[in-house]
Structure 1
């Protein structure tokens, strides 16, 4: 049985939505990820404010060109109606081969079709040694 991942969310569908997002982001496929957002989606990612799929896609292309060996883990924090809150961490390596672990929280809001219309992310980066990697 295929579940429909549209609001209002249950715990089961919220967890499935978070897992689907994790899987998409770990693909590092900006086209695939951008399709999860409404054409006029609003984003805040750190200090970047983006509007629409095309800006999101361009942002993701630049992100994954800068950071190599990207690996992400998302965890459901809370949900209600058409909103989901997530905590996450990801690891990546920069152009100088410095490893980083980035921690953050996201607040998501979805339209009736299950596309994300708003994403607000707060993220902090911590340098790590390769031996400290866990993802």
Structure 2
């Protein structure tokens, strides 16, 4: 199955889960290959373009966010665009290793070859006392995330 635009529901869902798995591996160089060399990023309040800034951003991100576990779900799609809702949990290296969860949305636009050419992310972090993606959870897709978290 080719994961290139134009997307249908099956290919859009597969593209989201492929991205989820790639990010959960926490390899900045491997993740950067899923984006065009001139990919435009907005991540919260940070704006940058290109492969090396993506690698630098992800390297810093995963240095700070220990025990990182991410789940992405398809929110909407059309043609060359996909919208994603996500949740991830991590321990904050710079805040006493407190457990936190980020809730957010992403807006993706793709090039013809299936690499992302624009990524916009909005997210909010909260401290948590109850984790969803505990160490005994093998598959983050198996965790029941109810509608109240959408």
TM-score, reference length from structure 2: 0.86
- Aligned equivalent of 1:99: 99
> What's the CA shift for 1:100?
0.3
Aligned to 1:71: 69
**Which contiguous aligned blocks of 4+ residues in structure 1 show a shift greater than 3 angstroms?**
none
> What pairs up with 1:38-49 in 2 under 5 angstroms?
38-49=36-47
State how far apart, in whole Å, the 1-side matches of 2:118 and 2:30 are: 17
Partner of 2:124: 124
Instruction: Please list every run of 5 or more consecutive structure 2 residues that lacks an aligned counterpart in the other structure.
Output: 134-150
- 1:49 and 1:21 map into 2 onto residues whose CA distance is 20
- Mapped partners of 2:54, 2:36: distance in 1: 10
Residue 112 of structure 1 aligns with which residue?
112
Aligned to 1:23: 21
Distance (whole Å) between structure 1 residues aligned to residue 36 and residue 44 of structure 2: 20
Shift of 1:97: 1.5
CA apart distance, 1:124? 0.2
CA distance in 1, matches of 2:111, 2:33: 13
Q: 1:94 Cα deviation (Å)?
A: 1.1
What residue is the counterpart of 1:8 in the other structure? 6
Distance 2:109 2:92 in 1: 31
Q: Deviations over 1:43-101 (max 9, x none)?
A: 00000001001100100000000110000000000000000000000000012110000
In the alignment of these two chains, the number of paired residues is 131
**Could you tell me how far apart the structure 1 residues matched to 2:46 and 2:18 are?**
24
CA distance in 2, matches of 1:109, 1:55: 18
Secondary structure of residue in 2 paired with 1:71? strand
Give the alignment's TM-score, normalised by structure 1: 0.96
